[in-house]
Structure 1
Amino acid sequence: MVAIEELLHRRSDLSTFVVHFTRDGGGASGRDNLEAILHSQTIEARTVYGMAKRLAETNPDVADSQRTVCFTETPLEHAWMMCQDIDNRQIRFNGYGLAFTRTFTRKQGANPVWYLDISPGHDWLTTPVNKLVQQAVTDATPPGAPGPATDDLLASPILRLTPFMEQMGTPSGVRKEFWWEREWRHVGHFGFTPQDIVVVFAPEDDHNDLLRTIESWGEYFRVPAIVDARWGLERMIAALARVRDKGPFPT
Structure 2
Amino acid sequence: MSKRNIQDILHFRRDLPPFLVHLTRDRKNPAKENLISILDSKTLRQSREHISSMRFLKDQKVENSEELFAAICVTETPLEFIHCLIDIQGRQVNLEPYGVVFLKDKLKKKNFHPALYFNNSVEGHADPILKAIETLSQSAETKKFFPLITTFGHLVGPSKPSGGWHDFYWEREWRRPFCYGDFSFSFGEDVDNNDVFCGLCPEDDIIFFEERYPGLPFIDPMRPPSWYAKKLIDRRKDLNMRHAVV
Name the TM-score, length of structure 2 as normaliser. 0.78
User: Superposed, which structure 2 residues align to 1:101-120 within 5 Å?
Assistant: 101-120=103-122
Residue 204 of structure 1 corresponds to 203
Residue 100 of structure 2 corresponds to 98
Quote the offset at 1:136 in angstroms: 4.8
Aligned residue pairs total 216
Residue 63 of structure 1 corresponds to 66
Greater alpha carbon shift after TM alignment, 61-70 vs 90-99: 61-70
Distance in 2 between the 1:237 and 1:57 partners? 52
Q: Is the 8 A contact 2:67 2:143 kept in 1?
A: no
One-letter code aligned to 1:63: E
Distance in 2 between the 1:79 and 1:15 partners? 12
One-letter code aligned to 1:113: A
SS in 2 for 1:198: strand
Could you say which structure has the higher strand fraction?
2
Cα 1:233/1:224, change in 2 over 3 Å: same
Residue 148 of structure 1 corresponds to none
User: Superposed, which structure 2 residues align to 1:16-165 within 5 Å?
Assistant: 16-26=18-28, 28-46=29-47, 47-54=49-56, 55=58, 58-83=61-86, 85-121=87-123, 123-133=124-134, 135-136=135-136, 153=138, 155-165=139-149
Distance in 2 between the 1:187 and 1:209 partners? 33
Q: Is the 8 A contact 1:56 1:63 kept in 2?
A: no
Q: Is the 8 A contact 2:145 2:177 kept in 1?
A: no
Identity over aligned pairs, percent = 26
Quote the offset at 1:117 in angstroms: 2.0
Distance in 1 between the 2:55 and 2:197 partners? 32
Distance in 2 between the 1:225 and 1:30 partners? 18
SS in 1 for 2:53: coil
Distance in 2 between the 1:22 and 1:104 partners? 20
Quote the offset at 1:157 in angstroms: 3.9
Distance in 2 between the 1:230 and 1:78 partners? 9
C-alpha root-mean-square deviation of aligned residues, in Å? 2.4
Residue 218 of structure 1 corresponds to none
Distance in 2 between the 1:62 and 1:90 partners? 21
SS in 2 for 1:100: strand
Gaps spanning 5+ residues in structure 2: where?
156-161, 188-193, 236-246
Whichever of the two has the greater Rg, that structure is 1
Q: Is the 8 A contact 1:51 1:130 kept in 2?
A: no
Distance in 2 between the 1:56 and 1:41 partners? 37
Quote the offset at 1:241 in angstroms: 4.7
One-letter code aligned to 1:201: L
Distance in 2 between the 1:156 and 1:242 partners? 45
Quote the offset at 1:58 in angstroms: 1.6
Moved over 4 A (4+): 54-57
Quote the offset at 1:212 in angstroms: 3.2
Gaps spanning 5+ residues in structure 1: where?
138-152, 216-222, 244-251
Residue 231 of structure 2 corresponds to 239
Q: Is the 8 A contact 2:68 2:146 kept in 1?
A: no
Residue 228 of structure 1 corresponds to 220
- Which of 138, 147, 154 is equivalent to 1:170? 154
SS in 2 for 1:180: helix
Cα 1:131/1:15, change in 2 over 3 Å: same
One-letter code aligned to 2:14: S
Distance in 1 between the 2:106 and 2:42 partners? 14
Quote the offset at 1:213 in angstroms: 3.2
Quote the offset at 1:2 in angstroms: 1.6
Quote the offset at 1:40 in angstroms: 0.9
Distance in 2 between the 1:124 and 1:156 partners? 27
Q: Is the 8 A contact 1:136 1:156 kept in 2?
A: no
Q: Is the 8 A contact 1:115 1:179 kept in 2?
A: yes
Name the TM-score, length of structure 1 as normaliser. 0.77
Quote the offset at 1:130 in angstroms: 2.4
